[in-house]
Structure 1
């Protein structure tokens, strides 16, 4: 298994508050994908898109990213063809607040993962609302597991049969849910530290998390972008 990471260097045309940044990046990626027939079909279809992106770096202490400054963000995918095509078109869109100056694509081979941290909030929808502190951790773990198994089986066409969670332990890293704008709503998510078991299936699911993101809204709003240790 590999995942592929596209680092984009971007010039910001106008100030953007932090809770709008991921929507801005997502809109730029979406507009770019419409410039390629294959990517346009991916964008329009329902189901998993198999990519995730993070937010702008370096972070701004006042939470406002500044017009006239240069930042970077990353896009990850387990699909080499998909992310290579995105690389080819992402500099062509000039209609938004982001001007992509350069891109660099790297391959990350399968690594042994002991811990996962999501650097953008992870979103879980339950009963038409968002999971928040105080809700069931057992439900959270189960939904994380189910989501990753579905992604893995859908992409690789290989069944995963296990009754055991790949999660050895999970820690909530924020006191209040973190809200990011998406269309007319605010997505409320959380940041987690996840301890990963050592067996083969657990490692496959952990690596899938790095390549596609944790839980929901990965490709639309960059939610659940993870780093591993």
Structure 2
């Protein structure tokens, strides 16, 4: 198993506060997709987009990313054609907030992991409301497993029902829910440390979470994961 990672170097044209970063980056990526017929087609479809991106690095301690400074973000996906298409399109894309300076791509071979943790908030909608850490932890475990298995079914074209629990243990890292801005509203998410079972399907599920994002709204920059290897 492998996935593709784009390292995108950017210069900021204006200051951006941390809770606006994912929205501004998604605007950049969405604009780039208009330059490619295939990317444009998947942008319009209401389904899992199967890519995810992180925020900006290096992190600013005062939570404000500065005009004129250089930053990096990373985008991941499992489809080489999508990765190459993004690379070519992003080279020609700028917004009011970003000038794209360079886009590099690398192929990453998946190795077994013992733990994943998301560095951008992961979003789960439970009966139309965001999951928060005062709710039952079993609800979010079920959501994580179900969401990841649905992505596996889409990727592999499977019709059969998949049921599995990849989670050996889970910990909510934030004391209160994390809010980010999007189109004048707030999206509420959480950060998790998840210990992964060793069996093959659990490892496949971890691979999907790492390469395409944990839970929902990954194409808006939510659920970007890092990992600890076995």
C-alpha distance in 1, partners of 2:45/2:160? 25
3-state DSSP class of the match of 1:95?
Answer: coil
3-state DSSP class of the match of 1:5?
Answer: strand
3-state DSSP class of the match of 1:193?
Answer: strand
3-state DSSP class of the match of 1:114?
Answer: strand
* Structure 2: tracts of 5 or more residues without a match: none
CA contact (8 A) 1:54 1:120 kept: yes
Deviation for aligned residue 1:162:
5.4
Aligned match of 1:124: 124
| Count of residues in Structure 1 that have an aligned counterpart in Structure 2 | 228
CA deviation vs aligned residue, 1:39-83 (integer Å, no higher than 9, x gap): 110111110111000000000000000000000000000111111
* Structure 1: tracts of 5 or more residues without a match: none
Deviation for aligned residue 1:109:
1.1
Q: How does 1:1-229 map to 2 (within 5 A)?
A: 1-158=1-158, 163-219=163-219, 221-229=220-228
Name the CA shift for 1:166/1:10 in 2 (closer, same or farther; >3 Å): same
Structure 1 length normalisation: TM-score? 0.97
Deviation for aligned residue 1:158:
4.2
CA contact (8 A) 1:149 1:160 kept: no
CA contact (8 A) 1:8 1:103 kept: yes
C-alpha distance in 2, partners of 1:86/1:7? 11
Superposition CA RMSD, Å: 1.2
C-alpha distance in 1, partners of 2:16/2:144? 31
CA contact (8 A) 1:123 1:217 kept: yes
C-alpha distance in 2, partners of 1:116/1:159? 28
3-state DSSP class of the match of 1:96?
Answer: coil
Deviation for aligned residue 1:163:
4.1
Name the CA shift for 1:160/1:207 in 2 (closer, same or farther; >3 Å): farther
Displaced runs of 4+ in structure 1, greater than 3 A? 158-164
CA contact (8 A) 1:54 1:74 kept: yes
CA deviation vs aligned residue, 1:117-175 (integer Å, no higher than 9, x gap): 10000001112211111111111111111101110110122467654411000000010
C-alpha distance in 2, partners of 1:162/1:50? 18
